[in-house]
Each structure stands twice: as C-alpha cells, then as structure tokens.
Amino acid sequence: MVPAEWYLLLAAAVFCIGLIGILTRRNALLFLMSVELMLNAANINFVAFSYQWGNVTGQTFGLFTMALAAAEVAIGIGIILVLYRNFDDIDVTKATTMRW
Amino acid sequence: MLLQSQLPNSLALAPVLVLALTALLLLVVDSIDPDSTNSAALAGISVVGALTSLGFAGWFLSAGTGQVSTGGGISLYGEALVVDGMALFFMAIFASVTAMVAIGSYDYLRGKPHQAEFYTLVMFAATGMGLMAAANSLATAFVALELASLPSYALVAFLKKNRGSVEAGLKYFLIGAVSSAVFVFGISLVYAATGSMVFSDVAEALNGTEFVGVAGLGVLMIAGGFAFKTASVPFHFWAPEAYEGAPAPISAFLSSASKAAGFAVAFRVFTEAFALSAIPAGIDWVLLFQILAVVTMTLGNFAAATQENVKRMLAYSSIGHAGYALIGLAALSAGSAQNGNVMGASMAHLLVYGFMNTGAFLFIALTEHWDIGRRFEDFNGLGSQAPVACAAMTVFMFSLAGLPPFGGFFSKYFLFAGAIGAGFWWLAAVGAVNSALSLFYYSRVVKAIWIEDPSGEFQITSKPIGLYAAVMIAALGTLVLLPGFGPVIEMAQTAATALFA
C-alpha cells in the first residue's frame, strides 16, 4: 500500500499547479480549468484518506465536490458568456470599467 | 417545550424550509407565466416568504426552541445540521434583510426582464445562508456556502448589458471560485488529519492529534474561505468591485446577509470543531483572527476615507465592519467566561449592521432610480428634495459611525466592552480609533445631503413606493433597536455562551 504521505504530496502538487495557473493565466476559461485542478486536488485527499481511515465520509464528500464544481462551472460559463458579449474578449484583465 | 415535544424535530428548520419553498414557488410561477412582468406578485411572494421565515425564527427564538432553556440544540440528519439559538438568531437576520431587499427590488427592477429569476436566486441564496448558520459538519458547511455563493454570482452580474455589473460579477466569481477551492482543500486536510467531518468528532480527533502540521494548514485554509465570505483581509478585494457594480439591492443583500452568514458558520466552526480547549497548542487561530481583525478594520476604514464614490465608500466601510465583527473571534481565550459575551456582542452588531447597512445601500438604490450620480458632490442639496429618505440616510450614516443615540453605538459599545472584559483592551482601542476615523467619511455624506448647495437640478419625478418603504423599514429597524437592544444582546450572548458550553 502506498503510504498516505505520498497522496498528500500529490494533492499539494496538483493544488499548486492550479494555483500557479490562476496567477499566470489571463484567459477566463483556463482560469476555470485551474480552479478545477485545485478542487480535484482536494478530491485526491478525500478519497485517499477515506481509505486510510476506513470510512466513506471522504468518498461521499468527493462526489459532493464534483457536483458543486459542475454547478460552479455552469455559472462561470454564463458569466464568461456575458463578459464576451460586453467586452468582446474573455481576458480577465480587460474588464476594467472600475479600478481593479 | 411545546415544539420539541409535539412536533417533528425537522420542523425546527422551518425558517430555512420556508425560504426554499418560496424559491420553488417563484420558479413555478415563472414556468406558468415565463414573460411575466407582474413584479408586484413576484415581489409580494418573496416578501411574504421572507416575513414568514422571520416569523418562524422569531417564534422559535421566543419559545426557546433549541436553546439552553429547553435542552440545547436540536441536531438533525445525523448531526449534519443543528438548530440552536445562534442559528435562529442569524436566520432572523437573513430573513429581515431578504424582506427589505425584496421590497426594494420591486421598484429597482421595474421594466427589466427575468424578474422571477432574480427573486428566485435571492431566495435560494437566503436558503443557503440559513443552512450555513445551522451547519454542524464541514460537508454541510461547504455545500451551504456554495448554495449561498452560486446564486450571488449570478445576481451580481444580473444587469447583463451593463459593463460594470458584468465586470463585478466576473471578479466576484473568479475570487469566489478560488476561495472555495482553497476552502475545500482545507476541509480535505482537516479530514486527512481527523478522519471526520462532524464538528464534535473533529474536535475530539484533534485533541492530541499527531498530525498538527496538516491540521494547522487545513484550519488556515478554512479561515481563508471564511475571509472571502465575510469580505475580510486577505480575500476582501472583490468587495469594492462587486458592491459597486452590482444592482444596489444586491449590494445590500451581499454586504449585510452574506457577510453575516460567513460569520455565522465561522463562529460555529471555530468554537465547535476547532475549539480552543481541544485544539493542539501549535494551531493558534486566535492570533490569526487578531491580526486579521486589526488589518481588516484599518484597511477598510482608511480606504473608505479616500473614496469619491459613495457606493464604493460604503463597500469599503463594509470591509471595516467585518473587522469589528471579527473581534468576536479574536478576543477569545481558552476557558474564559467572557467568550460568550464577546461573540454575542459580535452577533448583535451583525444584526444592527444588517438593518443600517441594508438601508444605506437601498438609499443608493433610490438615488440610482432617480439617476443621481454616485459621487459625494452629486448628493449635494438632496435633503431639500427628498427630506424623508435623506433623514433615514442620516440615521444610517450616524449609526454606522457608531454615534451615541443610534443602534450602531450600542452594538459597538458592547463589542468593545466585551473585548476589554476579555483582556484584549488593544483590540477595543484599535476599534475605537477606527470608529472615530469612520465618522469623517460618513459625515461627508450627511454634509453633502443637508449643508451643501445643489450643484445642479435634480430630476426627481417619481416616488418609488417600494424603495421608500424598504428604506423606512431599515431606518425603523435601526431606531427600534435602541429600546430593544437589551433583550437582543441578552439573547445573542446566551446563544453564544451555549456554543462554548
């Protein structure tokens, strides 16, 4: 069996990749994908430690997270769509009617 | 006693259930008559729903449901939710703010499409907030937080042809998505360290845990998630944009109810799951909240003082008030008898804030309805044109600043007194200095309204009944809390003390 620490490391690495993606990408869709990576990093932890602790709380919560991530993307795409209609671009740094 | 002995326990959630049913009813109305512009009916249904929810919350609070006098909190669905004094207190706040926002939206939305969707989203967000106050497990806390957040993103971007509104929605959504990812990763780390999600089990597992590092990082990230919801440093920077760009009733809704919801769930998580008596000594979250409270107060107030735009000033002042409310978490110490008093005072402040801040933003909605600009100068001489609304705005401003005869004074007084009583005099001192500074920018609005001469002609042709009524109700709420403050603070402190028992 793979020791639990390795799962923590993998999750942390995926989380950091997502975080770096958020900080460097300007395209709103890539931004969404980066958030998705961060959420799935949490899912890795949930599933791995669910096995480790011998209860299904974590696995169940992993399903919750996936459903909520899908809902979040649905709202996000909607907002990105109106962003494109108003600003003709999905670059998140272009929308600056107010100060950022 | 009556409720607990004769009715099913799940009815204790009635204030939340009513909000959810109202949202579903609005969806049904919308599907029967999709292009309806009958805003009176839609707003009416929302207001009746919110008031029914408020009625249930008030009834349960006075009947003692879930409170210490009748045997403590009622836990539901395998301890996933708990209804106690604190949950009901916050549900009352959410219901009153929702009612005022729904009344105010009636005029604000006149002639705009998709009104049914607007009210539905408001009701669903309010449902999520009510569940946040009742969440007793990290899983329900996360789901409830998302239920409150997702409709809010859509509501901020509701004016889809208005660039400011879309931009505000985008920024709110982007930061919200990141912070909820941080929040859920924090939950996963706490689960990794403890193997449980229910607050009491987490506290038990944390007591003497060997995974202090993992748990500590998890606690820090969960605190970050709450910082977003309450618009405190370091996840505060969405707030000025979102509040400025959003439709004004939604700014009112987010800055009052949504912020209170963030505090409701934070209070419960940090007192029940990460209880000071059980947490390993290495995880010092009180210190974290002390830093956040001081930085949030100072940053919010200083930034507000430099604004030229009234709506943006209110947005920053709302960050400052998050800092005051954070004292409820920052002035705690393990086993102190004062803990309940400080947290209760913070809850009472959020109630008063719910009225005065909602009122202030609804006044902005009123000026937007009249097409008056957003800068301080644009308000010059407004007092002679609309004296009643301006008198109410004056009440809100002085109450937000914490001047003696208004509700905001009492809540701040109890908050600072509680912090001093708990031995954190310096937190109270920072708060008092910030309050003094805040008087500067709040009084600018009052000065512009009453003293300055008008710079141009106002085109005040209409008298929007709904917005006027909502502003008046908020003003009345701020004023009624003067004589009524004794029972309120007592109820809040009893409810908070029960958390530490």
Is B197–A42 a contact, with Cβ atoms under 8 angstroms apart?
no
Is A72–B180 a contact, with Cβ atoms under 8 angstroms apart?
yes
Is A71–B150 a contact, with Cβ atoms under 8 angstroms apart?
yes
Give the pLDDT score at B123: 96
Q: Which residue of chain A is at minimal alpha-carbon distance from B180?
A: A39
Residues in A touching B160 (Cβ below 8 Å): 82, 85-86
Is B188–A92 a contact, with Cβ atoms under 8 angstroms apart?
no
Quick: pLDDT tens for A15-66.
Answer: 999 999 999 988 999 999 999 999 999 999 999 999 988 899 999 999 999 9
Is B241–A100 a contact, with Cβ atoms under 8 angstroms apart?
yes
> Tokens in use for B213?
């590092």
Domain regions of chain A by residue span: 27-93
Closest of B367, B362, B347 to residue B473, by C-alpha: B362
- Whether residue B292 contacts residue B233, with contact meaning beta carbons closer than 8 Å, is answered with yes
Between helices A57-87 and A28-53, what is the axis angle to 10°? 180
- Whether residue B114 contacts residue B242, with contact meaning beta carbons closer than 8 Å, is answered with no
What CA–CA distance (Å, rounded) separates B497 from B328? 12
Residues in B touching A41 (Cβ below 8 Å): 185, 188
- The residues, ordered by sequence, that sit 6+ positions from B7 with a Cβ below 8 Å of its Cβ are none
What CA–CA distance (Å, rounded) separates B471 from B464? 11
Of how many residues is chain B composed? 501
Residue A96 banded pLDDT, cuts 50, 70, 90: confident
CA distance B79 to chain A (A): 13
- The residues, ordered by sequence, that sit 6+ positions from B384 with a Cβ below 8 Å of its Cβ are B454
CA distance B173 to chain A (A): 7
Does B381 reside within a domain?
yes
What CA–CA distance (Å, rounded) separates B336 from B351? 24
> Tokens in use for B389?
């609304």
Residues in A touching B139 (Cβ below 8 Å): 57, 60-61, 64
- Whether residue B212 contacts residue B225, with contact meaning beta carbons closer than 8 Å, is answered with no
What CA–CA distance (Å, rounded) separates B141 from B217? 18
Is B188–A83 a contact, with Cβ atoms under 8 angstroms apart?
no
Residue A99 banded pLDDT, cuts 50, 70, 90: low
Give the pLDDT score at B1: 44
SS3 B76: strand
Is B161–A96 a contact, with Cβ atoms under 8 angstroms apart?
no
- ipTM score assigned to the predicted complex: 0.94
Residues in B touching A77 (Cβ below 8 Å): none
What CA–CA distance (Å, rounded) separates B64 from B416? 28
Residue for token digits 């804030």? Answer: B353
Mean pLDDT of chain B: 89
Testing the interface with A: which of B152, B160, B185 to mutate, by most A Cβ within 10 A?
A: B185
Residues in A touching B196 (Cβ below 8 Å): 53, 55, 57
What CA–CA distance (Å, rounded) separates A66 from A73? 11
In this complex, the residue of A58, A75, A80 whose CB is nearest that of residue B191 is: A58
- Whether residue B132 contacts residue B141, with contact meaning beta carbons closer than 8 Å, is answered with yes
> Tokens in use for B407?
């509700």
What CA–CA distance (Å, rounded) separates B431 from B441? 16
CB pairs under 8 A between A and B: 130
In this complex, the residue of A55, A79, A98 whose CB is nearest that of residue B164 is: A98
- Whether residue B183 contacts residue B141, with contact meaning beta carbons closer than 8 Å, is answered with no
Is B197–A78 a contact, with Cβ atoms under 8 angstroms apart?
no
CA distance B213 to chain A (A): 12
Residues in B touching A99 (Cβ below 8 Å): 241
Give the pLDDT score at B6: 61
- Whether residue B199 contacts residue B270, with contact meaning beta carbons closer than 8 Å, is answered with no
| CATH number belonging to domain A27-93 | 1.10.287.3510
Residue B431 belongs to domain spanning: 286-501
Concatenated DSSP letters for B272-299?
IIT-TTTS-TT--HHHHHHHHHHHHHHH
Q: Classify residue B461 as exposed, middle or buried by CB count within 10 Å of its CB (0-12, 13-18, 19+).
A: exposed
Cα B266 versus chain centre, distance:
12
pTM score, whole prediction:
0.93
What CA–CA distance (Å, rounded) separates B39 from B439? 38
CA distance B212 to chain A (A): 14
Tally of domains within chain B: 1
Residues in A touching B182 (Cβ below 8 Å): 38
Does B488 reside within a domain?
yes
In B196-325, the DSSP E strands lie at: none
In this complex, the residue of A31, A57, A60 whose CB is nearest that of residue B196 is: A57
pLDDT means over runs of 10, chain B (501 residues): 61 92 93 80 93 93 80 82 92 95 90 88 96 94 95 93 90 92 94 91 86 89 92 88 91 93 93 86 87 92 90 92 92 84 92 93 89 84 86 92 86 91 90 92 90 76 85 88 84 87 73
> Tokens in use for B50?
């919110």
Render the burial of B62-72: b for 16+ CB within 10 Å, e for the rest.
Answer: ebbbbbeeeee
- Whether residue B492 contacts residue B89, with contact meaning beta carbons closer than 8 Å, is answered with yes
Closest of B304, B300, B342, B291 to residue B321, by C-alpha: B300
Is A57–B245 a contact, with Cβ atoms under 8 angstroms apart?
no
Distances B466 to B106, B249, B345, B369, B389 between C-alpha atoms, Å? 6, 12, 32, 11, 12
> Tokens in use for A73?
């993307």
Concatenated DSSP letters for B455-467?
SS--------HHH
Does B127 reside within a domain?
no
Does B345 reside within a domain?
yes
CA distance A37 to chain B (A): 9
Does B238 reside within a domain?
no
Backbone phi, then psi, for B292, in 5-degree steps? -60, -40
Does B91 reside within a domain?
no
Q: How many Cα atoms within 13 Å fall on the side-chain side of residue B484? A: 12
What CA–CA distance (Å, rounded) separates A71 from A84? 20
Give the pLDDT score at B213: 85
Asked if omega into B234 is within 30° of 0 (cis), the reply is: yes
Residue A100 banded pLDDT, cuts 50, 70, 90: very low
- Whether residue B389 contacts residue B272, with contact meaning beta carbons closer than 8 Å, is answered with no
| Rg (alpha carbons) of chain B, rounded to whole number | 21
Give the pLDDT score at B369: 86
Contacting A with CB below 8 Å, chain B residues are 139, 142-143, 146, 150, 153-154, 157, 160-161, 163-164, 166-171, 173-174, 177-178, 180-182, 184-185, 187-189, 191-192, 195-197, 214, 240-241, 244-245
Does B359 reside within a domain?
yes
- Whether residue B51 contacts residue B463, with contact meaning beta carbons closer than 8 Å, is answered with no
Distances A29 to A79, B81, B98, B137 between C-alpha atoms, Å? 11, 35, 33, 32
* Angle formed at CA A35 by CA A43 and CA A85, multiple of 5 degrees: 145
